[in-house]
């Protein structure tokens, strides 16, 4: 009898409390039952499975760390475990959830007024309101901190937004999009809650992606889009506030990378134990075992790292450089793991139905979004040397 397939080699699950472990198993069961059977087809057709949103809502895990406003106020560790379990089956679905629960709800929770939190967060927790987060622009990605070109101009009626945002996840169907724009008067970045259907706010679906194809990324164009003062995020004063949100979500992306790596490793291990060549399972060959062990070594290191990362977060000790280091390390190692997973599966490794090809493609997007390897490395470099390499 073969041992069970398990990517948690150092049994990190034994460090979880009962509640976290129960949530882990609940999300795993949900993803296996509801998402795994449909995901390849949606990925292939570049579409989003809207019918699963109410089922996600039933899990009651959206905005799991926030206190109040209908949210349960649980640990960052629990949030990380959720992200990992989702990405273990599909990184697009984990990304959709991350945009909703982390980037969008997080912007409101961390930068909104009491009234704004009360207006938006309960409905977003129940996933009756879907959010998007618009920071990146067609010509401004890594340099968003000092370079945003989308403008906000205060007028007697409110704020006029002008500019474009690119890559905005969930934007094609979001009920509310957080838009980060530069105030032309004080030159500081401010956040705005833009409601679906606002005149002057157009969203075009980005087509032709080779990664995270289920995520509906939009190109947003704003032409004299009028936003009332009450829909300006009242506690976002500058890009430093945007960065507070990104610090939290980057930690979640590190967990997502771990889930992607784990899904690919577990599928590859299963395949190699069953696939026979030269009359033997290919898993019995030394060179295949070497690949599997290298994958597992990295995966185990990644899991240990994100576990401690969440502890830092829960202890209120998380710094930008902690989140950046985890995001760089995990997304880099994930790229290696998914590539080896594909390799040990030979030709079948490039077929969607074998559940690794999708991970190979999706790892590329995880590697680049929420700060590229270079940008996150420079954030760590600045912290350890005391010298900024940013212009």
What is the binding site for ligand FAD (CB under 6 A)?
99, 133-136, 141-142, 167-169, 212, 215, 217, 365, 368-372, 374-375, 390
**Minimum CB distance to ligand FAD smaller for 37 or for 208:** 208
Q: Which residue is nearest to ligand FAD (CB)?
A: 141
**Minimum CB distance to ligand FAD smaller for 101 or for 303:** 101
Min CB(150)–ligand FAD separation in Å: 11
Min CB(391)–ligand FAD separation in Å: 7
**Minimum CB distance to ligand FAD smaller for 136 or for 198:** 136
**Minimum CB distance to ligand FAD smaller for 28 or for 244:** 244
Min CB(367)–ligand FAD separation in Å: 9
Min CB(104)–ligand FAD separation in Å: 9
Min CB(112)–ligand FAD separation in Å: 18
**Minimum CB distance to ligand FAD smaller for 69 or for 133:** 133
Are the beta carbons of 302 and 311 closer than 8 angstroms?
A: no
Q: Nearest Cα to 252, choosing from 15, 80, 25?
A: 80
Min CB(382)–ligand FAD separation in Å: 11
CA dihedral 27, 30, 34, 40 (to 10 degrees): 40
CA–CA gap between residue 46 and residue 37 (Å, rounded)? 16
Q: What is the gyration radius of the CA atoms in the chain, in angstroms? A: 21
Taking the CA of residue 89 as centre, how many other CA atoms within 13 Å lie in the half-sphere pointing to its CB? 20
**What is the residue-wise DSSP string for 267-297?**
HHHHHHHH-EETTEEGGGSHHHHHHHHHHHH
**Minimum CB distance to ligand FAD smaller for 39 or for 99:** 99
**Minimum CB distance to ligand FAD smaller for 152 or for 292:** 152
Min CB(373)–ligand FAD separation in Å: 6
Q: What is the b/e burial string over 31-46, where b = at least 16 CB atoms within 10 angstroms of the residue's CB?
A: beebbeeebbebbeee
Min CB(138)–ligand FAD separation in Å: 8
Q: Which long-range contacts link 300-305 to residues 24+ away (Cβ below 8 Å)?
A: 300/9, 300/10, 301/333, 302/254, 302/257, 302/258, 302/261, 302/329, 302/330, 302/333, 302/334, 303/8, 303/10, 303/12, 303/258, 303/262, 304/10, 304/12, 305/254, 305/329, 305/330
**Minimum CB distance to ligand FAD smaller for 88 or for 165:** 165
Question: Apex CA 386: angle with CA 385 and CA 389, to 5°?
Answer: 80
């Amino acid at each position: 009898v073969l041992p069970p397939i398990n990517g948690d080699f150092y049994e990190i699950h034994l460090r979880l409390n009962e509640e976290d472990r129960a949530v882990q198993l609940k999300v795993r069961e949900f993803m296996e039952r509801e998402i795994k059977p449909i995901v390849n087809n949606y990925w292939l057709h570049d579409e989003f499975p809207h019918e699963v949103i109410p089922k996600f809502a039933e899990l009651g895990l959206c905005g799991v760390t926030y206190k109040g406003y209908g949210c349960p106020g649980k640990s960052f560790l629990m949030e990380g475990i959720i992200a990992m379990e989702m990405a273990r089956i599909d990184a697009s679905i984990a990304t959709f959830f991350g945009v909703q629960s982390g980037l969008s709800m997080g912007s409101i929770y961390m930068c909104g007024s009491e009234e704004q939190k009360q207006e938006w967060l309960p409905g977003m927790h129940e996933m009756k309101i879907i959010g998007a987060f618009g920071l990146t622009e067609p010509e401004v990605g890594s340099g968003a901190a000092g370079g945003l070109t989308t403008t906000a101009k205060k007028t007697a009626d409110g704020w006029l937004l002008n500019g474009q945002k690119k890559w905005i996840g969930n934007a094609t169907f979001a009920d509310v999009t957080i838009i980060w724009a530069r105030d032309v008067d004080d030159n500081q970045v401010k956040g705005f809650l833009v409601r679906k259907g606002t005149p002057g706010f157009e969203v075009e679906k980005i087509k032709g992606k080779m990664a995270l194809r289920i995520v509906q990324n939009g190109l947003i164009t704003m032409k004299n889009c009028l936003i009332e003062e009450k829909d300006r995020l009242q506690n976002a004063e500058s890009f430093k506030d945007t960065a507070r949100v990104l610090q939290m979500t980057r930690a979640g992306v590190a967990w997502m990378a771990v889930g992607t790596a784990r899904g690919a490793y577990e599928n590859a291990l299963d395949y190699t134990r069953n696939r026979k060549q030269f009359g033997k399972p290919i898993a019995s060959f030394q060179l295949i075992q070497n690949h599997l062990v290298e994958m597992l070594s990295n995966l185990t290191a990644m899991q240990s790292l994100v576990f401690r990362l969440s502890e830092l977060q829960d202890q209120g000790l998380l710094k930008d450089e902690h989140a950046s280091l985890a995001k760089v390390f995990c997304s880099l190692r994930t790229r290696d793991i998914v590539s080896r997973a594909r390799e040990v599966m030979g030709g079948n490794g490039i077929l969607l139905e074998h559940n690794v090809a999708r991970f190979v493609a999706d790892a590329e997007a995880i590697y680049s979004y929420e700060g590229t390897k270079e940008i996150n490395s420079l954030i760590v470099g600045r912290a350890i040397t005391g010298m900024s390499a940013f212009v």
